[in-house]
């Protein structure tokens, strides 16, 4: 970008998912699901990941108990999954390429930054602090903070818009979930899909995004304002 161009992202908001979007957590939950189901002699169905993509941990626990007849309590299931995931989130998983530089850039250009994830705070906190992203966000919403419809509902995004004082048309949502992308789009927000571009099975909803990328080197520099020439 030219040194003679000033980018001003003030009055705009960037709403980031964490798991699979900022954090490269490919296959972690697939592995956890396989191990958890295998303990109970059940094969993970092909539709499981898509069916639970926008659910909170409690909703996933309730779902598997109802659908597959697990005899565990929701609390025991969530603890089992949390224990399996804790090592990866605390010490192993890395940010997507360019993620920290991009978040820092948006912060410096005046954007309001929001993290909204279905993951629990206990899992996110260690990763956010280890990767030094924690400091950038004006608001963080974790799985236990989301209402029952969560990212499945455009109203969740409209409520968030009202909460942060930024109109929907000035909000940009970064997500790897097609369901969440659709909800944000129906709320009137700009959407950016984060995906592995060699994935031929991308949901058609990604076609409605303003852009789709696999690393943040290709994320938009301007969220909702035009570039203006620097007069200095």
pLDDT digits (tens, 9 = 90+) for 85-98: 998 999 999 999 99
Residue 94 CA to residue 131 CA, distance in Å, equals 8
Residue 82 CA to residue 120 CA, distance in Å, equals 9
Residue 170 CA to residue 9 CA, distance in Å, equals 10
91 phi and psi angles, rounded to 5 deg: -130, -15
Q: Quick one: CATH architecture of 5-25+95-229?
A: 3-Layer(aba) Sandwich (3.40)
pLDDT at 39: 94
Name the residue ranges covered by the structural domains of the chain. Answer: 5-25+95-229, 28-92
Element of type H or E holding 171: strand 171-175
Residue 169 CA to residue 154 CA, distance in Å, equals 13
The candidate with the shortest Cα–Cα distance to 143, out of 165, 167, 120, is 120
pTM of structure: 0.85
| Higher local confidence (pLDDT), 102 or 195 | 102
pLDDT tens digits along 67-76? 999 999 999 9
pLDDT at 200: 54
Bridge-based pairing state of the strands 5-6 and 112-116 = unpaired
Bridge-based pairing state of the strands 94-95 and 228-229 = unpaired
Bridge-based pairing state of the strands 23-24 and 94-95 = antiparallel
């Amino acid at each position: 970008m030219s040194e003679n161009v000033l980018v001003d992202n003030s009055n705009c908001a960037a709403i980031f998912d964490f798991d699979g979007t900022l954090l490269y957590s490919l296959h972690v939950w697939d592995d956890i699901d396989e191990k958890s189901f295998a303990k109970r002699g059940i094969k993970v169905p092909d539709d499981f990941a898509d069916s639970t993509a926008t659910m909170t941990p409690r909703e996933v626990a309730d779902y598997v108990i109802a659908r597959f007849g697990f005899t565990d309590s929701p609390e025991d299931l969530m603890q089992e999954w949390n224990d399996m995931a804790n090592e990866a989130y605390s010490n192993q998983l890395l940010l997507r390429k360019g993620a920290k530089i991009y978040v820092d850039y948006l912060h410096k250009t005046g954007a309001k930054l929001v993290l909204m994830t279905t993951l629990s705070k206990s899992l996110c906190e260690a990763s956010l602090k280890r990767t030094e992203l924690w400091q950038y966000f004006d608001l963080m919403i974790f799985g236990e903070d989301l209402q029952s419809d969560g990212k499945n509902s455009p109203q969740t995004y409209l409520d968030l818009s009202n909460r942060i004082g930024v109109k929907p048309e000035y909000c940009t949502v970064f997500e790897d979930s097609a369901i969440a992308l659709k909800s944000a789009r129906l709320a009137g927000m700009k959407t950016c899909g984060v995906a592995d571009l060699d994935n031929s099975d991308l949901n058609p909803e990604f076609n409605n995004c303003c852009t789709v990328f696999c690393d943040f080197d290709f994320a938009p520099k301007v969220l909702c304002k035009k570039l203006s020439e620097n007069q200095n």
